A and B are shown apart, each in its own frame.
Chain A
Amino acid sequence: MSPGLYGVLAEFRTVEELLAAARSARADGYTVEAYSPFPVEGLGEAVGFVGNRMPLIIFVGGLAGGAGGYFMQWYSAVVSYPVNIGGRPLDSWPAFLPATVALTILGAAVAAVIGMLVANGLPRLHHPLFEIHEFDLATRNRFFACLRSRRGGLDLESARALLARCGAMKMWEVPA
């Protein structure tokens, strides 16, 4: 990739064009980013996205919430401040379950959202693509593909040619 260049951006009208462009660019050895105004089935695979770690992050979050929650209750009621409450045992484990369940869900949900944002590199309030005025349509009705780099170096001419072949309406060289 030439220095100072973010990538070559192309605008498409339909999902099918974007999918086709992403697939052929990837087949040609490009690193592709694809932008759509709604989640498109198969687009992730088309740009080569594998190894989604979201389930693991969420599982760990839930486990931490639940185990931490139970431990907190047990520690406070048995170790830190034991007191006879209505003749019930100090470790009244059945009564500790509702809060444990709630904290499990809380831990998992917080992990899901924070994990998703961090893995996506968000929040990122400014981005080179936002400099392209028409990119606003990526959240409305248009589909964009951006060729970032290619094995052996990005050649602007061939990148533009590939995108044009796929039906790009318009193309930009986006500065980094």
Chain B
Amino acid sequence: MVVGTRPPVSRDIGVLAAGWRYASISDKIADLVLTRRAGWRWWLLFLTTLGGTLVFFSASAYLFAVGVGIWGVNIPVAWGFAIGNFVWWIGIGHAGTFISAVLYLLRQRWRTSINRFAESMTLFAAGIAGLFPILHLGRPWFFYWLMPYPNVMELWPQWRSPLVWDFFAIATYLTVSLLFWYVGLLPDLATLRDRATTRFKRYAYGLVALGWRGEARHWARYEHAYLLLAGLATPLVVLVHSVVSLDFAVGNTPGYHSTIFPPYFVAGALFSGFAMVLTLAIPLRRVFGLQDFITARHLDDAAKVVLVTSWIVLYSYAAEIFTGFYSADEFDVSITIERWSGAYAPVYWSMLACNVALPQLLWWRRVRRSVPALFVISLLVNVGMWMERFLIVVSSLHRDFMPSAWGMFYPTFWDWVFLFGSIAFFVWLFLVFLRLLPAISIAEMRLLVDESATEGGR
């Protein structure tokens, strides 16, 4: 009366290699955390990035003590690297939620083995992004004045400011991404608890697993909550970067004041986010031997997203130029020409090379299937996107309405310390994550094994 008394074995379905069972796939991923010893390469990278992280925080202490004058910002360029870095990081922090929420709603199966580390990337990137607007304040210790809180002065935030919108959008994004990530982690934390080799690990994972048992009713509510969270996170992905773009678009500065900005920023965010997914996935699968789960198909699909979003970004550049001239507004025209030929023109043309020309290589399947090529392209796309953020922030400000007030921004040593320090901090967080939590969703991989076996049997 009972069918299928043997547990299923996966078949090759492109996004998962053949020969995996519930048990083997669980053990493989869980043991990366529980039993595998960190290799020298991990330690080397860990210590290097830990050093960078310490530099980042020491520099922040110095910044708090002395003031933002240690950077190259001035009047007129009152926003510099800090805001550029903020927009860049928050952009990178978009792919994770896009992958886990939007691709979940679209039932894209190649999401399964990359969503966990992409979500973690999102959390770290968005968290670091959230630091920059605070570091950038003249009096950072009062950053909480952007929050509504009861106070005897009856003072409130000024709700018309895009920075307040930003604060709410990013706080919501961080919270929802964290919840989404944590809910996704719950079954895996239970797996780690139940496979833990030491008492300490058993208690530690047991605490955060909240007593998850995998009961059918729990799963039913869980799936509902997860689906609706995905549905809520989807508009949030669009909202956050749109609101970030409004920081600029609501301003009257030529080069900021443009209605194309919200879609342009969202596309740019996905573009840089997927590039960062590739940048992280390529070494991850190699070092931890995860090629069976993060397959060539995954890299190929992510590369296609990079290609598509590069065209949306190109369209946005073109639309910005077109509307600049079409408006015949002398200030808009002037800043457009300034970008091509002014002081920051080399950055502009390098940006076009990285963001528009280079990704066209991804039309070729051979490039998409070449791991080294993808790695290099993904790195350069992120460099290009950083230059884009820099240009938006700085080049628009350095020449606005009054020629008498025109100025130049030159980054100082400290500007670079904060950029590279934040990158080190990001990598360090990611390395810690790899050692403490499963980089791939175990529960979802078991489901994928089940599905692949059933499908293959047809």
Q: Do chains A and B touch in the complex (CB under 8 A)?
A: yes
Q: Given the known inter-chain contacts A54-B224, A105-B232, A125-B210, please indicate yes or no for A47 contacting B217, CB distance below 8 A.
A: yes
Total residues of chain A contacting the partner, CB 8 A: 70
**Chain B positions 395 through 409: 1 when the CB is less than 8 Å from some CB of chain A, otherwise 0:** 000000000000000
Residues of A within 8 A of B22 (CB): 37, 140-141
Q: Are A54 and B154 in contact (CB under 8 A)?
A: no
Q: Are B239 and A113 in contact (CB under 8 A)?
A: no
**A151 proximal to B (CB < 8 A):** no
Residues of A within 8 A of B222 (CB): 39, 116, 120
Interface of A is mostly: helix
The 8 Å CB contact of B156, one of A76, A101, A117, is A76
Residues of B within 8 A of A38 (CB): 187, 214, 443-444, 446-447, 450
Q: Given the known inter-chain contacts A20-B2, A117-B210, A138-B214, please indicate yes or no for A76 contacting B148, CB distance below 8 A.
A: yes
Least CB distance from B9 to A in Å reads 12
**B389 proximal to A (CB < 8 A):** no
Least CB distance from B231 to A in Å reads 9
Q: Are B179 and A99 in contact (CB under 8 A)?
A: no
Q: Given the known inter-chain contacts A38-B447, A39-B447, A73-B159, please indicate yes or no for A120 contacting B191, CB distance below 8 A.
A: no
A140 to B152, CA, bound (A): 55
**B44 proximal to A (CB < 8 A):** no
Q: Are B4 and A55 in contact (CB under 8 A)?
A: no
Residues of B within 8 A of A158 (CB): none
The residue on A at minimum CB distance from B222 is A116
Q: Given the known inter-chain contacts A37-B446, A105-B236, A140-B22, please indicate yes or no for A122 contacting B211, CB distance below 8 A.
A: yes
Q: Are B26 and A49 in contact (CB under 8 A)?
A: no
Residues of A within 8 A of B221 (CB): 52, 54, 116, 119-120
Residues of B within 8 A of A98 (CB): 162, 165, 168-169, 239, 243, 246
**B312 proximal to A (CB < 8 A):** no
The 8 Å CB contact of B172, one of A13, A103, A126, is A103
Q: Are A54 and B213 in contact (CB under 8 A)?
A: no
Q: Are B176 and A37 in contact (CB under 8 A)?
A: no
Least CB distance from A22 to B in Å reads 7
Least CB distance from B149 to A in Å reads 11
The residue on B at minimum CB distance from A138 is B214
Q: Are B213 and A95 in contact (CB under 8 A)?
A: no
A64 to B6, CA, bound (A): 49
**B12 proximal to A (CB < 8 A):** no
The residue on A at minimum CB distance from B449 is A38
A80 to B215, CA, bound (A): 50
Residues of A within 8 A of B374 (CB): none
Residues of B within 8 A of A86 (CB): 160
**Chain B positions 200 through 235: 1 when the CB is less than 8 Å from some CB of chain A, otherwise 0:** 000000110011111111111111110011001101
**A27 proximal to B (CB < 8 A):** no
**A2 proximal to B (CB < 8 A):** no
B22, B229, B239: which has the most chain A beta carbons within 10 Å? B22
Residues of B within 8 A of A131 (CB): none
Q: Are A13 and B213 in contact (CB under 8 A)?
A: no
A147 to B236, CA, bound (A): 43
Residues of B within 8 A of A112 (CB): 179, 225, 228-229, 232
Q: Are A125 and B206 in contact (CB under 8 A)?
A: yes
Residues of B within 8 A of A99 (CB): 159, 164-165, 168-169
**Chain A positions 9 through 22: 1 when the CB is less than 8 Å from some CB of chain B, otherwise 0:** 00001111100101
For the complex of A and B, the 5 pairs showing the least CB-CB separation, nearest first, are A141-B22, A123-B210, A98-B165, A76-B156, A44-B220
| Residues of chain A at the chain B interface (Cβ within 8 Å) | 13-17, 20, 22, 33-40, 43-44, 46-47, 49, 52, 54-55, 58, 62, 72-73, 76-77, 80-81, 85-86, 88, 92, 95-96, 98-99, 101-103, 105-106, 108-110, 112-113, 115-117, 119-120, 122-127, 129, 136-141, 165-167
A-B contact pairs, 26 of them (CB 8 A): A14-B7, A15-B450, A33-B215, A35-B213, A35-B216, A36-B219, A37-B22, A38-B187, A40-B219, A43-B220, A49-B220, A81-B154, A81-B155, A88-B160, A95-B159, A98-B246, A99-B168, A102-B169, A106-B175, A112-B179, A116-B183, A120-B215, A139-B190, A139-B193, A166-B2, A167-B5
